[in-house]
Structure 1
Amino acid sequence: MTPPRSHSDMTPKRGLITDTFKVVKKERRGGKRDKSPSPPIAEPEPPQLSEREKDLQELKKFDLDWKFGPCTGISRLQRWERAALHGLNPPQEIKDILLKESTDPEYTQSLWRDYPL
């Protein structure tokens, strides 16, 4: 005589998805806090600009500031003087830069010097 079968022996064996795929738990929003905070990452310092590069950067800002009027067809110094004549208060530091380097075309001419009128 054979022993009676139990209920679990009568049902076909089904595999669970976890038998095939590993269980992966999602991290909660906010995540778990580490006991020791990680050290802050040091941002690399921007490269130091030479005085010439700083001057040219300021002159480019002056060229791009339309409140001092158009800058095509005239020198930067002429534009500065015209803006001062019309009460537009151009920055004195721009004039100082222009007078310091009065022969270098990178200083005297605007960004738009290479474009035809």
Structure 2
Amino acid sequence: MTPKRGLITDTFKVVKKAKRGVKRNKSPSPPKAEPEPPQSSEREKDLQELKKFDLDWSFGPCTGISRLQRWERAALHGLNPPHEIKDIVLKEYTDPEYTQSLWRDYPL
């Protein structure tokens, strides 16, 4: 004799589906608070401007020279570099993050 098999519902739980067209009453979700964007410090803003200057090839190459030297070279050749860049570099002339370009760590 073969063993008696049970119904599939004996093994798996029966799940009843909701009727179509019937709306469930959901409690309203609380409004989501939008996180405030992080405030950038003045240093971060300055370094971002200097990074843009380094990546702008219209002022000539920036490898092997400081940002101030590049700015002065661009001004000498009439390329009109932004004066804000010179002001930022001169403001923090002892910090290598301000004076050297992004490519300072890469050998020529």
1:6 is matched with which residue?
none
Bigger shift: 31-40 or 96-105? 31-40
What is the CA RMSD across the aligned residues, in angstroms? 4.6
* 1:24 lines up with 2:20 in the alignment: no
Q: How does 1:1-117 map to 2 (within 5 A)?
A: 43-117=34-108
The alpha carbon displacement at 1:46 in A equals 1.7
Gapped runs of 5+ residues in structure 2?
A: none
Alpha-carbon distance in structure 2 between the residues aligned to 1:100 and 1:21: 74
Change (3 A) 1:112 1:34: farther
Share of identical aligned residues, percent? Answer: 91
Q: What are the Cα deviations for residues 1-52 of structure 1, in whole angstroms up to 9, with x where unaligned?
A: xxxxxxxxx9999999999999999999999999999998554222101111
Structure 1 residues without counterparts, runs of 5 or longer: 1-9
Q: Residue 16 of structure 2: SS of its match in structure 1?
A: coil
- Runs of at least 4 residues of structure 1 off by over 4 A? 10-42
Report the TM-score, using the length of structure 1 for normalisation. 0.65
| Cα gap change, 1:12 to 1:111, in 2 (>3 Å) | closer
> Cα offset for 1:97?
0.2
CA distance in 2, matches of 1:86, 1:31: 75
Task: Quote how far apart the aligned CAs of 1:57 are.
Answer: 0.6
Q: Distance in 1 between matches of 2:21 and 2:69?
A: 59
Higher mean alpha-carbon deviation, 35-44 vs 64-73, is at: 35-44
**Whole-angstrom distance in 1 between the partners of 2:48 and 2:25:** 44
Larger Cα-atom Rg = 1
Give the Cα–Cα distance (whole angstroms) in 1 for the partners of residues 19 and 60 of structure 2.
56
**Which is worse superposed, 31-40 or 11-20?**
11-20
Number of paired residues? 108
